[in-house]
Amino acid sequence: MSPAPDHTPFSSAFTGTGASTGVVVSHGFTGSPHAVRAWAQSLADAGYAVRMPLLPGHGTSWQDLARTHWQDWHAALDAAYLELAGECGHVVVAGLSMGGALALRIAATRPVAGTVVVNPGLVIDDPRAPLAGILKFVLKSTPAIGNDILKPDTDEGAYPRTPVAAAHELNKLFKDTVRLLPRVTAPVRVYRSSVDHVVSDKSIAALRRGLTHAPLEVIRLENSYHVATMDNDAPGIFRGTAEFIRSVTGGGNPGAAHASRKDTADD
């Protein structure tokens, strides 16, 4: 069985050699650091300084999330970036789902060495999304979107309900981040599940269109659903992230030691 969800933030100091590198890791919408803790820990074990904040409104109750704004989530991740930037020679940003959008937003507004995102969200497919600003006054929440995981007996610890007010904020975050994508210049690596019941390929298409000045690499995951950082392909994501970081910070070339395949189309 999956361990009890740990919603606490994570922080580690640099223990590597040479020029120090920091990594900022973000969890997703209605989730918590629990879903990306093993990812963050693997990077700390590799010698990187890591900051993984608990985003405002998360890790408590969906009612708390309903009272937050997307700028609050961005500010928390930006503060983590600034902390590492003051200590490290290079900073890489990483995120899952909405955390991927936040990571891309940091990459568009701060000098990062690179970005790694897992099933990043940039488009909400629900046809009610444009109406969420009105619906939030009459409909407080909708069914949960969490736990899209192929691996049995695995719980990401997401909220049991999705607050409509926060979904409205999420939609605004996505739209504003898509607008900023042309500002990203550092390399971007995407881990994309072939089967994802939460984020559709519309988000990946938006990312491809928007990244007009940054190298983009998409690696397909064949044995995981949306929360791939807790799923069967997680070990490959962890190894591949460390390899990517070494490649963008001058620490070596990325290898091919991951249980997935590279999608070279339109990269």
What is the pLDDT averaged over residues 258-267?
A: 38
What pLDDT shows up at residue 256? Answer: 31
Cite the active site residues: 97, 196, 226
Q: Measured between alpha carbons, how far apart are the two ends of the chain, in Å? A: 38
Mean pLDDT of the chain: 90
Local structure of residue 4 (DSSP, 8 states)? P
What is the pLDDT averaged over residues 25-31?
A: 97
Which residues 6+ apart lie within 8 Å of 90 measured at CB?
19, 20, 21, 22, 113, 248, 249
- Residue 140 — very low, low, confident or very high, per pLDDT cuts 50/70/90? confident
Separation of alpha carbons 160 and 152, rounded Å:
19
What is the pLDDT averaged over residues 75-102?
A: 97
Could you tell me whether strands 261-263 and 141-143 are parallel, antiparallel, or unpaired per DSSP bridges? unpaired
Instruction: Output phi, psi for 135, to 5 deg.
Output: -60, -30
What is the pLDDT averaged over residues 200-207?
A: 97
More confident residue, 62 or 266: 62
What is the pLDDT averaged over residues 238-255?
A: 81
Percent of the chain, pLDDT > 70?
88
pLDDT higher than threshold 60 for residue 100? yes
Give strand pairing partners of 141: 163
Exposed, middle or buried by CB within 10 Å (0-12, 13-18, 19+), for 120? Answer: buried
Residue from 120, 155, 140, 168 nearest 63 by CA: 140
Q: Which domains, ranges and CATH numbers included, belong to the chain?
A: 10-263 (3.40.50.1820)
Could you tell me whether strands 90-96 and 21-26 are parallel, antiparallel, or unpaired per DSSP bridges? parallel
> Does the global pTM surpass 0.95?
no
What pLDDT shows up at residue 146? Answer: 80
pLDDT higher than threshold 60 for residue 43? yes
pLDDT higher than threshold 90 for residue 243? yes
